Amino acid sequence: MDRILFGDNQFFGVNHMSEEKARAQAMQFKDTASIMRVLDIAYENGIRVFMCTTYDRVGEIADIVRANPGRYPDFQFYPCMPYAHKYANSVGEVGIIETIRRFAPGGLMETMIKGAVSAVTQDIYKLMEILVDSEMKRFADVKTPVVFVQNVVTDLLLGLGLDDVFPAFAHHIQRKYGSEAGFITMNLPRLVDVLESKGLRNPIVCANINKIGFRMSGGVDAYRELLRARRCRAIAMSVFASGAIPPKEAIEWVCGLAGLDSIVFGASSAANIRQTKALIEQAWPT
């Protein structure tokens, strides 16, 4: 994996500390062209990986990258799925059956057959494959070396004890798309324990990792110990704790952690992209 990844929270109005800032960002990035301007800046500054939720506009971004291979020869997507709001909103608008018709790959009949099998056998793996394949349609013919499960699903599966879904997802992603599985979580120590118990050694895991322990279940010391043991390939997100830690202080602390592989950050301006990349490179020399 690359050391520096670019995230997408700023593009659709997510800020865990400020609703006002989130609304302003959502207005700033109300169309695909405004997002592409920022992605182009990141790409021109040597950031090649876009770690993105699978919301609708990402499909338009994939279309642009796909149509311009000379402009984006090294552009990689790290899809993070599912985008739960999309399904919830669709069910509210048009109902369950029309939602299936909208999003399912392979046609409604195939989906209904698979769904029936799942209902009869209580086999959730077929449902998982349906949802994954639906999300991955938009990434056809672009590079997706890692595909992530969003933390809302990862941590729900952990809480329900449905641990076998993790290797099933990893197998499906590798077999069908040639990609590695990644998992986003708010509880890194617990998740790595479970993944190892299911045979997923040295997994790719993304979690909040920051100096003040913001949204780090288990505490900073447990994360530090796990990283030092190099039991996973760890990606740090929310390193600034949604603005609670000054950038230089935040980056110097996280880059000083033994065993960290990558950092993902989001930014909405050229100056912030360049500043953050420079701070990471200064604090974390190769």
Residue 63 backbone dihedrals phi, psi, to 5 degrees: -60, -40
Lowest mean pLDDT among 11-15, 61-65, 152-156, 198-202: 11-15
pLDDT (average), residues 253-259 = 97
Place of tokens 């090649």: 48
DSSP string, 127-174: HHHHHHHHHHGGGTTSB-SEEEE-HHHHHHHHHHT-TTHHHHHHHHHH
Q: Is the peptide bond before 82 cis (omega within 30 degrees of 0)?
A: yes
Q: Is 114 helix (H, G, I), strand (E, B) or coil?
A: helix
Name the more confident of 251 and 18: 251
Give the C-alpha separation, 102 to 169, whole Å.
22
Q: Is 215 helix (H, G, I), strand (E, B) or coil?
A: coil
Give the C-alpha separation, 36 to 34, whole Å.
6
What domains does the chain contain, in order, with CATH numbers?
4-268 (3.20.20.100)
pLDDT at residue 117, rounded to an integer: 47
**How far does Cα 111 stand from its chain's mean position?**
26
Classify residue 37 by burial, with Cβ atoms within 10 Å: 0-12, 13-18, 19+: exposed
Report residue 90's pLDDT band, with 50, 70 and 90 as the boundaries: low
Place of tokens 């279940």: 217
Tabulate helix, strand, coil % of the chain (nearest 5).
55, 15, 30
pLDDT digits (tens, 9 = 90+) for 190-208: 999 999 999 999 999 999 9
Q: Please count the residues of the chain.
A: 286
pLDDT at residue 96, rounded to an integer: 54
Lowest mean pLDDT among 71-85, 246-260, 265-279: 71-85
Name the more confident of 120 and 184: 184
**How far does Cα 88 stand from its chain's mean position?**
19
Residue 181 backbone dihedrals phi, psi, to 5 degrees: -85, 145
Residue 267 has pLDDT above 60, yes or no: yes
> Which residue type does 110 have?
E
Q: Tell me the two tokens of residue 246.
A: 């000054």
Report residue 121's pLDDT band, with 50, 70 and 90 as the boundaries: very low
pLDDT at residue 286, rounded to an integer: 76
**What count of Cα atoms within 13 Å lies in the side-chain half-sphere of residue 172?**
19
Residue 83 has pLDDT above 90, yes or no: no
183 close to 170: Cβ distance less than 8 angstroms: no
Q: Is 50 helix (H, G, I), strand (E, B) or coil?
A: strand
pLDDT digits (tens, 9 = 90+) for 222-243: 999 999 999 999 999 999 998 8
Give the C-alpha separation, 95 to 79, whole Å.
26
Residue 109 has pLDDT above 50, yes or no: no
